[in-house]
Amino acid sequence: MKARPALIMLVEDDASLRTLLSEELEVDGYAVRSAATVEEGCNGLQEWRPDLIVSDLRLPDGDGLAILRKLQAEGHSVPFIIITAFGTVDQAVEALKAGADDFLTKPLSTDHLRLKIKRLLAHAAVTSELARYKSQSESDSALGLVGESRAMERLRNEIRQVARSQAAVLVSGESGTGKELVARAIHDESERRQGPFIPVNCAGIPHELMESEFFGHEAGAFTGAKSARRGLFAEADGGTLLLDEIGEMPLALQAKLLRVLQEGTIKPVGSDHEEAVNVRVIAATHQDLVKAVEQGGFREDLYYRLETLTLMVPPLRERDDDVDLLAMHFLRDSARRHQRGFLQLGEVAARMLADYPFPGNVRELASAIERAVTFCDGDVVLPEHLPARIRKRQTESAEGRPVLPSGNLADWPTLEQVQQDYVVRVIDAVEGNKRRAAQILGVNRRTLYRWLDAEKDTAHD
């Protein structure tokens, strides 16, 4: 559904200027409502609910700041620009102290006004979106996971259900999808939330050191073991241990892990006795463990022990419009780390991100935003600030041209037939992902659904 145009309320008693400004702003695509007095402007606040207000300072029944004060008294925050033919420094200071966002004097430059309006509306839109996201992400229902797609809502529901259990969990998903965040959400939702959450990457520990790292060792257990050391299982006692990249764990250690899951005990290297531990294990992997079992690289009994509770983290390409929210989230965080002020994602750059499939998933998007913030000198992220691979894909898409059929003109398909054929090809190319298909076709999803329904009706005729 197409977003409605921003509504601007123009309060100006000079009829000719009011008409001129209204026409200029409507050409820019804004909806405009006009008033000539303070009373009309105050009434318009409730009737029109404007997104931005431009008001003359001196009006027949008072001054424009009265409208601003009424707006503030009602608890609303709307960008407010004051214009006047009697501009002085004192008046400017008074207007800005009262909460106006800008102060312009007559004779008025319409280009200057239009630029101010564009910037204020963009800033207000991003501020509103960030406030909404912050509220959403901090709520209990968000579980610390950014995203509003149906895939993410389904994942959150599964996390809540799994968190009630004490059994081991297997979190699967492509690289970069956020499996550790999912594991942490399970821990935070569980009764173990007050205990430790310890993540460890199995691929980052040398095989010969794994047993000691996980189960600990006694002093003198092996060369270099000068003192006893607690292992990761002991450190995670009462909490959760995340075994990331579980597929990289050697078979010998997999057998010991299975015993921990079955018996709840560990045996440190060099020790003659076992120790009880109370640890919930969450395993994560991007590998196909079924194939690993078939190839002898993963124990079948351990797989079935973990597979009982499995969560699949969706890739970014299947998360509908979450790219926009995630990009906003990473832009805010990166700007803060770089000690930058307000940064906005330009419209073209945002469209490029939305059209890109992100094979590296959320991690790749975060990296792209980090690069953009690093190379952005102004306050708007532009296409040239994005990685070359994202810009290249957009260029390649733009260079595509339809191929016209040859032969008798009477045999050429109708425009409707060409459209139907192309829509089907796009749907097939994106494996049924209608959000991606709509983006490629340049239409909203409602239009796409209407086209698909029309195609079904034609097929049944």
pLDDT-based confidence at residue 324 (cuts at 50, 70, 90): confident
DSSP 3-59: PPPPEEEEE-S-HHHHHHHHHHHHHTT-EEEEESSHHHHHHHHHHH--SEEEEESEE
Per-residue pLDDT tens digits for 332-342: 889 888 888 77
Once rounded to an integer, what is the mean pLDDT over residues 180-190? 95
- Which among 66-70, 103-107, 137-141 has the top mean pLDDT? 66-70
Please tell me the predicted confidence (pLDDT) of residue 89. Answer: 63
Does residue 183 contact residue 177 with C-beta atoms inside 8 Å?
A: no
Please indicate, yes or no, if residue 167 is contained in any of the structural domains: yes
Domain containing residue 382: CATH number: 1.10.8.60
Does residue 182 contact residue 159 with C-beta atoms inside 8 Å?
A: yes
Please tell me the predicted confidence (pLDDT) of residue 1. Answer: 39
- CA–CA separation, 313 and 317 (whole Å): 12
Please tell me the predicted confidence (pLDDT) of residue 37. Answer: 94
Please tell me the predicted confidence (pLDDT) of residue 456. Answer: 62
Is the per-residue pLDDT at 32 higher than 90? yes
Please indicate, yes or no, if residue 296 is contained in any of the structural domains: yes
Tokens matching residue 457: 């009706």
Residue 308 shares a structural domain with residue 183: yes
Please tell me the predicted confidence (pLDDT) of residue 350. Answer: 85
Residue 36 shares a structural domain with residue 82: yes
Residue 205 shares a structural domain with residue 240: yes
Q: Residue 124 is part of which domain span?
A: 7-134
Is the per-residue pLDDT at 217 higher than 70? yes
Please tell me the predicted confidence (pLDDT) of residue 401. Answer: 47
Residue where a domain stops, chosen among 346, 363, 396: 396
Once rounded to an integer, what is the mean pLDDT over residues 26-53? 92
Provide the mean pLDDT of the chain: 84
- CA–CA separation, 110 and 177 (whole Å): 47
- How many domains are contained in the chain? 4
Residue 359 shares a structural domain with residue 289: no
Please indicate, yes or no, if residue 376 is contained in any of the structural domains: yes
Please tell me the predicted confidence (pLDDT) of residue 316. Answer: 93
Please indicate, yes or no, if residue 402 is contained in any of the structural domains: no
Residue 19 shares a structural domain with residue 54: yes
Residue 208 shares a structural domain with residue 103: no
Residue 26 shares a structural domain with residue 82: yes
Residue 263 shares a structural domain with residue 360: no
Per-residue pLDDT tens digits for 141-164: 567 888 888 899 999 999 999 999
- CA–CA separation, 425 and 417 (whole Å): 12
268 preceded by a cis bond (ω within 30 of 0): no
